[in-house]
């Protein structure tokens, strides 16, 4: 791990927190890996390729939740107030009337956009690491704020020998608590340089950095040594359904397989965090209902046929 006040990558990420160990740095081996922190994001691993899920990096249901709140405010407060005022509202102050209508229309469009984004975002955006071809494949979802028709999937493929990693940090005060979130970013550089070509999210929304360290170490060891040098992990349950979604933000109470596995790996501070957050069930349960609506409508990720075969193959196409 590099201890520095500036990043070695050019240009530096605006939310940069720290650079992780270089890809070719000696690994501590399996002894430095903690399997408890790793299985949440594992889709698949075998002798040939490793697939990491990014489903936990997106707050599924949040767009639907905010959209419903905005539409409720518009429909329950502002629009009735304008209707009740009648034509007099506009004749007394035409500018204020036009501004109010523009604000209402903007809020409605914004709310619908948030909800539509949640509905159209794929259920997962996996990343595949093929140790035989030494390539990395990213299932990306490109969005456009201008045209809904421009929202499309895109697969990016890069050579492993161009890949490095960094951690970014976002923090802020919500009015009730100080919230910190970290992200593991894979940095693609020009061969033999630290000049950045692309940056891609691998894991986000993490309150601590421990899991991010572990995930980068796991990937490096897999690409160097293969799965025989790695701890045995269970792939994450590919669960769907109402109960899974309802407790998605309170997995420590979930009766599903995901909940059972979450409780098995809870540490002492997880119990403390659960005790604090459970009192906000009045937020988590509605978010869970919105998660169910969003995940039900969301498309299943499907790799293009040629890329799917290439990313699993023993040699380059």
Instruction: Note the pLDDT tens digit of each residue in 66-92.
Output: 999 988 887 777 667 666 666 666 667
What proportion of the chain, given as a percentage, has pLDDT over 70?
87
pLDDT for 87 equals: 60
Q: What CA–CA distance (Å, rounded) separates 95 from 100?
A: 9
Q: What pLDDT is stored for residue 219 in this prediction?
A: 94
Give the whole-angstrom CA distance, residue 250 versus residue 263: 11
* Statement: residue 317 has pLDDT above 60: no
Note the pLDDT of residue 3. Answer: 55
Reported pTM: 0.86
How big is the CA angle at 180 (ends 176 and 184), to the nearest 5 degrees?
155
pLDDT in tens, 7-49: 999 999 999 999 999 998 877 666 667 776 787 899 999 999 9
Average pLDDT, the chain: 86
Q: Which residues contact 269 (CB under 8 A, 6 or more apart)?
A: none
For residues 233 and 148, the model is more confident at 233
Taking a C-beta distance cutoff of 8 angstroms, is the pair 238, 295 a contact?
Answer: no
Q: What percent of the chain has pLDDT over 90?
A: 54
The reported pLDDT for the residue numbered 150 is 55
Confidence of residue 1 (pLDDT cuts 50, 70, 90): very low
Mapping DSSP to helix (H, G, I), strand (E, B) and coil, where does residue 107 land?
A: helix
| Weakest-pLDDT range from 22-36, 117-131, 242-256, 283-297 | 22-36
Can you tell me the mean pLDDT for 289-305?
A: 94
What's the 3-state SS for 154-168?
EEEEEEHHHEEEEEE
pLDDT at 289: 96
pLDDT for 108 beyond 90: no
Check residue 82 and give its pLDDT: 67
pLDDT tens digits for range 256-277: 999 998 898 888 888 988 998 8
Return the pLDDT at 2. Answer: 45
- Compute the average pLDDT of residues 88-116: 79
Residues 6+ apart with CB under 8 A from 248: 60, 61, 254, 287, 288, 291
Q: How large is the average pLDDT for residues 223-243? A: 88
Q: What pLDDT, on the 0 to 100 scale, is given for residue 25?
A: 85
Q: Which of 223, 154, 158 is nearest to 196 (CA)?
A: 158
**Tokens 């046929």 -> residue:** 305
Overall average pLDDT of the 275-290 stretch: 93
Residue-wise pLDDT for 186-202, tens only, equals 999 999 899 999 999 99
Which pLDDT tens digit goes with each residue over 146-195? 555 556 789 999 999 999 999 999 987 666 667 889 999 999 999 989 99
Query: At residue 281, what are phi and psi to the nearest 5 degrees?
Result: -55, -25
Alpha-carbon separation of residue 153 from 55, 204, 309, 317 (angstroms): 15, 20, 17, 21
Which pLDDT value is given to residue 171? 84
Buried b (16+ CB within 10 A) or exposed e, 242-274: eebbbbbbbbbebebebbebbeeeeeeeeeeeb
What residues contact residue 308 under an 8 Å CB cut-off, 6+ apart? none
Flag whether pLDDT at 254 surpasses 90.
yes
């Amino acid at each position: 791990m590099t201890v520095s006040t500036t990043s070695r990558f050019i240009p530096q990420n605006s939310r940069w927190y720290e650079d992780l160990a270089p890809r070719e740095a000696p690994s501590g081996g399996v002894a430095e890996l903690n399997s408890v922190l790793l299985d949440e994001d594992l889709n698949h691993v075998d002798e040939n390729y490793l697939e990491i899920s990014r489903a936990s990096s997106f707050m599924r249901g949040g767009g639907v939740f905010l959209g419903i709140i905005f539409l409720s405010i518009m429909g329950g407060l502002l629009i009735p107030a304008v209707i009740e005022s009648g034509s007099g509202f506009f004749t007394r102050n035409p500018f204020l009337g036009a501004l109010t209508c523009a604000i209402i229309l903007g809020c409605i469009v914004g709310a619908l956009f948030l909800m539509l984004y949640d509905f159209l975002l794929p259920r997962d955006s996996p990343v595949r690491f093929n140790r035989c071809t030494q390539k990395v494949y990213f299932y990306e979802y490109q969005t456009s704020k201008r045209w809904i028709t421009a929202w499309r999937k895109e697969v990016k493929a890069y050579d492993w020998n161009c890949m490095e990693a960094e951690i970014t940090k976002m923090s802020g005060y919500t009015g009730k608590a100080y919230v910190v979130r970290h992200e593991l970013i894979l940095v693609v550089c020009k061969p033999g340089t630290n000049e950045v070509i692309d940056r891609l999210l691998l894991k986000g929304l993490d309150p601590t950095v421990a899991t991010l360290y572990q995930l980068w170490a796991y990937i490096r060891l897999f690409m160097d040594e293969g799965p025989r040098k790695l701890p045995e992990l269970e792939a994450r349950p590919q669960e769907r359904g109402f109960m899974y979604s309802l407790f998605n933000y309170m997995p420590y109470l979930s009766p599903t397989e995901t909940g059972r596995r979450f409780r098995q790996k809870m540490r002492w501070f997880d119990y403390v965090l659960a005790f604090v957050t459970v009192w906000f069930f009045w937020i988590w349960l509605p978010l869970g209902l919105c998660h169910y609506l969003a995940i039900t409508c969301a498309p299943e990720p499907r790799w293009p046929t040629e890329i799917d075969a290439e990313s699993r193959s023993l040699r380059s196409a």
